[in-house]
Amino acid sequence: MLYLHENLRRYRTERGLTQEDVAQVFGVSAQAVSRWETGNSCPDVELLPAIANYYGVTLDALVGMDRLREEDGLRNVFCETHALVRDGRDAEAVETLRRGLRIWPGNPGLLSELSLALTRAGDPDSLREAAQVSEKLLENCTNEAIRATARANLLRVYTGLGEDEKAHSLGRSLPHVWESREVLFPEAAEELTEKCRNILLAVLQDLTLGKTPDLMLGYSGKEDVQGMKALLAEWSAAYGENGRKKTDHGTAAGDHGGLSEGSGR
């Protein structure tokens, strides 16, 4: 009953009912209905058929089984599509996605995959359809990941169709490279590593002075202190005093004097 609480709230609000209204119908408190809708509790099993009948839906729809089956079906379509693409069978991938869209019309994920498959086909008719699909996604879809894929693909499509003005206009609207995850993630990871290094060094300093580190207050056993010392020894062996990971040759990762491996210099 993964989606039961969501469905109970959705069916009630779609019909303009209050929690008090539903509580009165089923002889429970408004607080009980609130707990059903937040997922903190579930209605008695004996009540479920009556609730489904009250909202005019099937029991499967009420508990979310239809949604689970839809998710499984979509997952199968995506897996089949990706397997076909890996084998270079793009035409079959397009047909697989079209069949999926006949079952789940307007599904943003399927439309996104269809646009990519049509772009890979590369012929003018496929590119024009890919442009239409991507433009539709940008108009109607609110999922940022899908919208980002649609924008990037649409830029390739416009270029392939020779629509340079549209390509340039779209290109100017894309984010700068320094706003990308490839730039921001390493910066965040480096900052986190620095914080961890400083914490561990502070703990090591306290242990060296015979003090109980703040992080270990409430732990008095010798095993705890020994365990922390062992952890710090492993850290020092792996990262050294500067907190940078060592290679197999004992050199901190990245310390190559500006030369890449295999540069021949």
Q: In 3-state terms, the chain is what percent helix, strand and coil (to 5)?
A: 70, 0, 30
**Residue 140 above 80 pLDDT?**
yes
Where in the sequence is the domain holding 205, given as residue range(s)? Answer: 181-239
Q: What is the pLDDT averaged over residues 220-229?
A: 55
Q: Which two tokens stand for residue 129?
A: 């359809």
Q: What pLDDT does 162 receive? A: 92
Domain count, the chain: 3
Residue 260 lies in a domain: no
Q: What is the pLDDT of residues 235-260, one digit of tens each?
A: 566 555 544 444 444 444 444 433 33
φ/ψ bin of 262: left (φ > 0), alpha (ψ from -120 to 50), beta (otherwise): left
Residues above pLDDT 90, as percent of the chain = 41
Q: What is the pLDDT averaged over residues 131-140?
A: 93
Residue 226 has phi, psi (to 5 degrees) of: -65, -40
Q: What pLDDT does 259 receive? A: 35
Residue 246 lies in a domain: no
Q: What is the pLDDT of residues 166-193, one digit of tens each?
A: 988 888 887 777 777 766 666 666 666 6
Confidence of residue 113 (pLDDT cuts 50, 70, 90): very high
Q: What pLDDT does 262 receive? A: 39
Assess whether 105 and 138 both reside in one domain. yes
Assess whether 13 and 78 both reside in one domain. no
pLDDT, greater one: 260 or 202: 202
φ/ψ bin of 176: left (φ > 0), alpha (ψ from -120 to 50), beta (otherwise): beta
Assess whether 72 and 59 both reside in one domain. no
Q: What is the pLDDT averaged over residues 124-152?
A: 93
